[in-house]
């Protein structure tokens, strides 16, 4: 089957919503026998703030690693006992753009992500990451809402 799911990837950002999505992704991975992967994106807005505050590129790399470790540790704790993640993917940039590019580069990925409850006005003016991913994804995306 050309469109078969080869892995379950959960997008994590440390929020309660993303941890809830991680738990559901782990349950889906366990039920389907597909590997579970964790993905987080070090946001470009955070990079811009660091550069403005005088942090040099080498320090940004370290900050990115610390950010990723914090997010991945929280997600691993959440999925503990359900499924063991097989990979951690740490990207940098605009979260929606990076997730969409990841999906394009990894056909067969089933993306699971949480949805933050932004107000209708904010969603209309900014758009949400999950809505952008759904609009542009080339494979299955499950958005978990509490």
What would the pLDDT profile of 57-67 be if each residue is shown by its tens digit? Answer: 667 788 889 99
Please give the domain boundaries of the chain with CATH numbers for all domains.
Answer: 7-144 (3.40.50.620)
C-alpha 137/C-alpha 101 separation (Å) is 9
Q: Supply 126's token pair.
A: 């900014």
Q: Which residues contact 70 (CB under 8 A, 6 or more apart)?
A: 14
Percent composition of the chain: helix, strand, coil (DSSP 3-state, to 5): 50, 20, 30
**pLDDT tens across 80-112, in order?**
999 999 999 999 999 999 999 999 999 999 999
Out of 68-82, 87-101, 126-140, which region has the weakest mean confidence (pLDDT)?
126-140
C-alpha 41/C-alpha 128 separation (Å) is 15
For the entire predicted model, the pTM comes to: 0.85
pLDDT for residue 38:
98
Q: How far apart are the first and last CA of the chain?
A: 33
Query: Kind and range of the H or E element at 112?
Result: strand 109-114
Angle, in degrees to the nearest 10, between helices 44-52 and 57-79: 140
pLDDT for residue 127:
56
């Amino acid at each position: 089957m050309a469109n078969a799911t080869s892995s379950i990837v959960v997008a994590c950002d440390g929020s309660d919503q993303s941890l809830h999505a991680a738990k559901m992704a782990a349950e889906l991975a366990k039920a389907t026998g597909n590997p579970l992967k964790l993905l987080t994106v070090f946001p470009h807005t955070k990079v811009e703030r660091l550069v403005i505050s005088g942090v040099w590129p080498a320090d940004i790399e370290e900050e990115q690693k610390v950010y990723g470790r914090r997010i991945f540790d929280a997600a691993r704790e959440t999925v503990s006992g359900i499924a063991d993640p097989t990979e951690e993917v740490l990207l940098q940039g605009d979260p929606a753009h990076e997730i969409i590019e990841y999906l394009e580069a990894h056909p067969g990925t089933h993306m699971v992500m949480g949805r933050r409850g932004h107000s209708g006005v904010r969603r209309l003016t900014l758009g949400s990451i999950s809505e952008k991913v759904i609009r542009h994804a080339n494979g299955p995306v499950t958005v978990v809402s509490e």
